[in-house]
Amino acid sequence: MPGHASGERSVLRLLAPMAGWVLPLAEVPDAVFAGGMAGDGVAIDPTGGSLHAPCDGVVVLMGSARHALTLRTRAGDLLLHVGIDTVAMGGVGFTLCVRDGEQVRAGALLIEFDLDEVVRRAPSAITPLLLVGARAGQVSRQRLARRVSVGDPLFEIGPDRVAARAVAGSGAVERAAQPPTSLQGAFRVPFDHGLHARPAARVAAALADIDAQVTFKAHDRSADARSPVAMMALGAQRGDIVSATASGSGAAAALAALGSILERMPEAAQFAAHSPASIGGHGVASPDTHPTTRAPQPGARLEAVIASRGLAVGAAAPLVDADPPIGAARGDANVERARLSAAIDAVGARLRAMAASGQGARRGVLDAHEALLSDPGLRLRALARLEGGASAGAAWRESLRHAAATLAALADPRMAERRADLLDIERQVLRVLNGEPPEAAIQLPSHAIVLATELLPSQLLSLDPARLAGVCTAEGGATSHVAILAASMGLPMLVAAGPAALAVAAGTPLVLDAEQGQLLVAPSAGEQSRVSAAIAQRARQRTDDIAAARQAALTRDGARVQVHCNLGAVAEAAPAVVGGAEGCGLLRTEFLFLDRAQAPDEEEQLATYQAIATALDGRVLTIRTLDAGGDKPLAYVPQAHEENPALGLRGLRTSLAQPALLDAQLRAIVRIAPAGQSRVLLPMVTELDEVREVRKRIESISAALGLPAPKLGIMIETPASALLADQLCAEVDFLSIGSNDLAQYTLAMDRLHPTLAARLDAVHPSVLRLIERVARAAHARGIEVGACGALASDVDAVPLLVGLGVRELSVVPACIPRIKSLVRTLATADCAQLAQRALDAPSASAVRALLRAWSEHRA
């Protein structure tokens, strides 16, 4: 078996994990690695861009790090660290190919990386391979100063050090029998990139000769301070407070050693972190909530990701965000079980009551939280902990944190963002267990711009909208539930602004620009006045737009542009019609299929589709067939793990692979009354044969039911479908351009990538040229062509789409009045000239500059 001893079960033979030159650790250009503080082993100067398993083992990932991981083997833990100081790259250029806890065989691909990027941005690409941790054996038979390929013999690990540690351990048992000395301290992490490999190794080395057992705790996780890997798994970042407990005769010396590396916190700060005022409550923080991060200077502009567009002027309102206490067990598992059940029921009743009075995104989020709360798996795990003697609070927290950690480890960032929903319901139940309301009222100053690490949905819903001007979070993502809520409320919101946003003092004047993705700190009076005037003008414009929303959108020269709505729930349809929607250009049917154990049957689908059709009152209903698989897996559809879900079995490919699922959905659509109101839209089409297959199924189903076949259209989401548009138009009745995926696949940028997402813009000339080609093909065949991606809801880009020949826009319902009003100011000839200039532009940023200049000139 590769990577295992043959005839010597006590020896583990390691294979080269990458191609390159093998070097001794002493030649690594870093004192921590070169000095052996992080562990014994070798280094490789790579000549390729892949890292493989040197032996069999279990993968242990280090939080969000992509540049390093640990392989747990029978001889100890192996740390594989690509490059030196690569933590500063923030994961750019690295792709993890394995998951936390995955069992791998020798030679398995672990990490792919861009070697050119590492060489350009890191001090060195030299990659240490180190044996770390208390179980580590003895490195022997190293083969240095030579070139290796992946899989070549590298070195062996013998049992010597294991035996030596066992002997040392017997003495430790004797010492433990003596009365222990236990001391506690708190330290702040001072390192720019947190407690990563090198500082963790320094801490472990500083404690090596001290007779003490030291445990770190941070983020509700504990770690042996002698284990660099365990410390890295804490996920402690710069500025985080780590509590340390040292026991043994050298406890005082251990804390002193930690103080020489970490920033020691005074006693007052230790107690402040757990003071009654901060536990279980939320309020406006004092200016020194995050004293280790320097407050931004007046006039500073913090770059962030736009979660909900808009502008706001107001005062900083930092939010104190502390975990509720879990409480001690009362000695009777039955009592704890009853307490937990009552608390869960109380939170569930509140969620149902709030959902009953809500609609749209608000109701959807509350329904999702109730579904999580009712998850039997969460309850079963908590009940098991109760049987082990845990308190109701401790059992619930452990169950929710375990589930959150599982989601955070997934490759899909959208799923990882759902951990905030788990944290939300965790806190609500804990508050009820403590005799408090599920969510405490948060007092805000007037025109508050809330600053928080990450805002939970229940927190946002509890804020007074009359006092709330905007939200900016240091972390979080643009597809989180709280971001969706903010957009539905018309609340400007920025996310991922970084720790500097948390260092802004309460009351500091701010301008939140969720159009350009910036938070302006203490801007000039003139800047505040300018933005305030823009906000007032927008409010007046919004009033006028809503008043005219029910009127048709005709350009100045009489061209009709239909403005439809995108829908994802029954409750969204009626308000969209009131807001001026001329129909539904995209019904995302995934809401019926995801997060359930069995697929919805034909009757359930028909009832849902019919309710939406009825709410649209005769207006067209465009139903996209199930767009799942790959990045949106279904529990009831077996599917192997895919290395790249975006390029795997998803969209129409999934439906065709599950014909019974597809036929049930098509039958439900055909049966919607009145006939002719609904039409079918196919996602992720790349081939003519796929469309022809579905057309046959629709015609066969319609004939069997004695009903007319609905119109059939396809999404243009890939370069393949765009380039084949002239052929596809001969097979379908309409086209709909999905700009999000079309841009992603054309530009080869993952739209969920933390670094590339900001650069992914559908106005890139290459994407626009594909759109222009599609529109030309549709017009030649005399069929409708629309757009339903984010580009259609982008007010700046609407003139561009009109100029390219798009005559149907399916948009977020809240955008309908504004877009209709804008269309009435346009002339198609002017838009065509604008589009031609955009097609000739060199980049997306150049197109954006062109659009801004064109808009300002018209104003």
Which one is predicted more confidently, 164 or 452?
A: 452
Which one is predicted more confidently, 680 or 360?
A: 680
- Could you give the strand order of the β-sheet that contains 94-96, starting from the edge strand earlier in sequence? 50-52, 109-113, 94-96
Which one is predicted more confidently, 439 or 73?
A: 73
Which residue spans within 47-164 are E strands per DSSP? 50-52, 57-61, 68-73, 76-81, 94-96, 103-104, 109-113, 127-132, 138-140, 146-148, 153-158
The predicted model gives 465-477 an average pLDDT of 88
Question: Measured at the alpha carbon of residue 712, what is the angle toward residues 818 and 665, in degrees to the nearest 5?
Answer: 95
End-to-end CA distance of the chain: 72
Assigned CATH for 12-164: 2.70.70.10
- Rounded CA-CA distance 162/711 in Å is 71
**Superfamily (CATH H level) for 301-322+441-536:** Phosphohistidine domain (3.50.30.10)
Decide: residue 341, CB within 10 A, 0-12 exposed, 13-18 middle, 19+ buried: middle
Q: Looking at domain 552-639+646-825, which CATH architecture does it have?
A: Alpha-Beta Barrel (3.20)
- Rounded CA-CA distance 472/576 in Å is 28
Q: Is-catalytic flag, 472?
A: no
The predicted model gives 739-749 an average pLDDT of 85
Tell me the percentage of the chain whose pLDDT exceeds 90: 33
Tell me the percentage of the chain whose pLDDT exceeds 70: 80
Length of the chain: 859
- Rounded CA-CA distance 500/302 in Å is 8
The predicted model gives 440-468 an average pLDDT of 83
The predicted model gives 790-806 an average pLDDT of 92
**Residue 113 above 70 pLDDT?**
yes
Tokens 């401790």 appear where? Answer: 394
- Could you give the strand order of the β-sheet that contains 138-140, starting from the edge strand earlier in sequence? 12-15, 153-158, 138-140
**Residue 827 above 50 pLDDT?**
yes
Which one is predicted more confidently, 171 or 792?
A: 792
For the chain, domain boundaries: 12-164, 178-272, 301-322+441-536, 333-433, 552-639+646-825
- Rounded CA-CA distance 379/836 in Å is 59
pLDDT tens digits, 648-688: 556 777 788 888 889 999 999 999 999 999 999 999 898 89
Q: Is-catalytic flag, 565?
A: no
Domain 333-433 maps to which CATH number in 1.10.8.290, 3.60.10.10, 3.10.20.30, 1.10.274.10? 1.10.274.10
Which one is predicted more confidently, 589 or 191?
A: 589
Q: Which of 95-109, 166-180, 245-259 has the lowest mean pLDDT?
A: 166-180
* Confidence band of 636 (pLDDT split at 50, 70, 90): low
Closest CA to 807 of 832, 775, 840, 850: 775
* Confidence band of 323 (pLDDT split at 50, 70, 90): low
Which one is predicted more confidently, 597 or 800?
A: 800
pLDDT tens digits, 324-339: 777 776 668 888 888 8
**Residue 143 above 70 pLDDT?**
no
| pLDDT value, residue 168 | 34
| pLDDT value, residue 733 | 96
**Residue 842 above 80 pLDDT?**
yes
Which one is predicted more confidently, 108 or 379?
A: 108
The predicted model gives 237-241 an average pLDDT of 76
**Residue 760 above 80 pLDDT?**
no
Kindly report the average pLDDT of the chain as a whole number: 80
* Confidence band of 164 (pLDDT split at 50, 70, 90): very low
Q: Which of 172-176, 557-561, 713-717, 730-734 has the lowest mean pLDDT?
A: 172-176
**Residue 778 above 60 pLDDT?**
yes
Q: Which of 290, 481, 564, 764 is catalytic?
A: 481
Q: Which of 55, 729, 788, 815 is catalytic?
A: 788
The predicted model gives 378-397 an average pLDDT of 83
Establish whether the linkage from the previous residue to 817 is cis, with ω within 30° of 0. Answer: no
- Could you give the strand order of the β-sheet that contains 182-188, starting from the edge strand earlier in sequence? 221-224, 213-218, 241-247, 182-188, 263-264
**Superfamily (CATH H level) for 178-272:** HPr-like (3.30.1340.10)
State the chain's maximal CA–CA distance in angstroms. Answer: 93
| pLDDT value, residue 9 | 45
Quickly list DSSP for 130-151.
EEESTT--EEE----SEEE-TT
Q: Which of 334-338, 741-745, 830-834 has the highest mean pLDDT?
A: 830-834
Q: β-strand 620-624 against 40-46: which pairing, if any?
A: unpaired
* Confidence band of 229 (pLDDT split at 50, 70, 90): low
pLDDT tens digits, 242-289: 888 888 777 777 887 787 778 766 543 332 333 222 223 334 443 333
- Rounded CA-CA distance 358/768 in Å is 39
| pLDDT value, residue 644 | 56
> What tokens were used for 839?
């097609």
Q: Which of 100-104, 169-173, 369-373, 830-834 has the lowest mean pLDDT?
A: 169-173
- Rounded CA-CA distance 761/536 in Å is 29
* Confidence band of 163 (pLDDT split at 50, 70, 90): very low
Q: How many CA atoms lie within 13 A of 446 on its CB side?
A: 0
Tokens 């240091």 appear where? Answer: 474
Which one is predicted more confidently, 436 or 796?
A: 796
- Could you give the strand order of the β-sheet that contains 518-521, starting from the edge strand earlier in sequence? 301-303, 518-521, 509-513, 311-318, 448-452, 468-473, 493-495, 305-308
3-state SS of 809-831? EEECHHHHHHHHHHHCCCCHHHH
Q: What are phi and psi of 60, to 5 degrees?
A: -120, 110
pLDDT tens digits, 561-613: 999 999 988 888 998 999 999 999 999 998 888 766 678 899 999 999 999 99
Which one is predicted more confidently, 62 or 634?
A: 62
